[in-house]
Amino acid sequence: MSSASQPFSPPTPAFDAPRHSLLRNASTLFVGQGIGLIAPLVTIPYLARVLGPAAWGPVIAAQALGNWLILIFEFGFDLSGTRAVARARSEPATLPTVVHGVQSAKSLLVLASLPVLALVLFAIPALREHPLLIGWAVVFAAFRGLNPLWFFQGIERVQGPVLVDTAARSAAAFGVFVFVKGPVDGWRVLALQAVFAAVALVVLTILLARHVPLKTPRRAAALATLKEGSSIFACRAWTGLYIQGNALILAAIASPATVAFFGGAERIVRAAINMLQPLTQAFLPRLSYLQETDRPAAQRMIRRALGGVGLLGVAMGSVAYFGAPLLVNLLLGPSYSAAIPVLRLLAILPILVAINGVLGLYWALPLGYERYFLVSIIAAGITNVALALTLVPRHGAAGMATSAIVAEIVVLFVLGTRYVREGA
């Protein structure tokens, strides 16, 4: 892709943010998030039966590899890139530089990962047994990682792009029922995801080109952007590590049944917590923009968000606590009754995560305090592991739940203290 020869001068109204757009964008993102969660879940019972355990296991492993690669390729640009675009809206002439830097960085990450992946595949025999699956997983991750949806979140114009992205993910999920008929078709699951991720990438790139001129990726721009976004990537990577690592920690020091009781309860809670993500996607660009144009308005919005999102967390936690017996029996089955007290313990997580999300993703990142966010997450991760090693041997799943709760309290203490000190 080549750059446009004329100077960039977008019409200002294209980047204005009318007041009603925040609610509209949040609603759109909620719908997209909901469909994005439901569509893959619909395929699980089908794949479990059609592929069977022996063929479905490698598919799950390949998808896990793909999701891990996406985390690397995205490099937290869904946060840092969105924030940069939102801030650049006050000086639209700088938008092409932001877009060029992010897309250059993503391209460099994809290219740099290929030799590393080759070494991993060579070193691990189990992966070499399924080259088609692994190949499609890498292709899917590359296309998904290059997706420019972050830009449209930054300019707060998400309706069309979210529709494209959601339609592509849904088509990949429901294509499974058409093209996957037996154990030998497992690779088609990843192929469908890769093909429709490519479709979404092409369509969204065409839409992106209507807003800014696109240029060939450059290494200098990539390295500069990677350096600028490294702290947010560290936040994202560390958060993913200590949240996803709880089941692994438990598996290393407890029985499989204990892992199942904790994991089942945690999945119920995390499913509710994940529905807070669209609020972040809607508020982050608006707050980043207000930080550049009207800081007092940004502070007022953060204070309102603390109350509103906090109440949403209270509602989620209340449902989890009082509805624990029904939720466990309905979603996990009667043999998981030991998960009921664990779920009731974890019911406080939605409240803590909601407040921490506002302090971290609505306040720290948009206003440039990501260093404090990273410190809080590192402290939480260390606390989580240390307490788990101490509590799990004696208290099992309840000990792991307690460790997760205390870790979030650590985040709240670090960020809350800094928030108050900054005079917010």
Angle at the Cα of 245 (from 417 to 64), degrees rounded to 5?
125
Name the average pLDDT for the chain. 80
Enclosing H/E stretch for 255: none
> Within 13 Å of residue 267, how many CA atoms lie on the same side as its CB?
13
Q: How far is CA 120 from CA 6, 57, 68, 128, in A?
A: 45, 19, 14, 9
Q: Is 156 left (phi over 0), alpha (psi -120 to 50) or beta?
A: left
- Closest to 36 (Cα-Cα) out of 264, 247, 286, 277: 277
pLDDT in tens, 34-58: 666 666 666 766 776 787 766 766 7
- Whether residue 191 contacts residue 59, with contact meaning beta carbons closer than 8 Å, is answered with no
User: Minimum mean pLDDT among 29-33, 44-48, 86-90, 288-292: which range?
Assistant: 29-33
Mean pLDDT of 73-77: 82
Map tokens 């948009």 to a residue.
366
Whose structure tokens read 């999945």?
267
**252: exposed, middle or buried (Cβ count in 10 Å: 0-12, 13-18, 19+):** exposed
Pick the more confident residue, 223 or 23.
Answer: 223
Structure tokens at 154: 């930054």
DSSP string spanning 263-300?
Answer: HHHHHHHHHHHHTTHHHHHHHHHHHHHHHHH-HHHHHH
How high is the pLDDT of residue 124? 57
The answer on pLDDT for 85 being more than 80 is: yes
pLDDT of residue 322: 95
Q: Are 189 and 47 in contact (CB under 8 A)?
A: yes
Report DSSP state, residue 211: T
For 366-403, give the DSSP string: TTT-HHHHHHHHHHHHHHHHHHHHHHHHHHHHHHHHHH
Closest CA to 350 of 275, 415, 240, 280: 275
| pLDDT > 60? residue 5 | no
19 pLDDT band, cuts 50/70/90, is very low
* pLDDT class of 321 with cuts at 50, 70, 90: very high
User: Which of 289, 37, 309, 306 lies closest to 153 in space, CA to CA?
Assistant: 289
pLDDT the model gives residue 412: 94
91-121 confidence digits (pLDDT tens): 778 888 888 888 898 989 888 887 777 776 6
* Residue-level pLDDT at 36: 62
Widest CA span of the chain, in angstroms? 69
For residue 267, give the DSSP letter. Answer: H
Rounded-to-integer distance, Cα 347 and Cα 119, Å: 43
Q: Which of 372, 383, 389 is nearest to 409 (CA)?
A: 383
- What is the spatial distance between Cα 192 and Cα 169, in angstroms, rounded to a whole number? 9
Q: Using pLDDT thresholds of 50, 70 and 90, give the confidence band for residue 175.
A: very high
Distance CA 353, CA 347 (A): 11
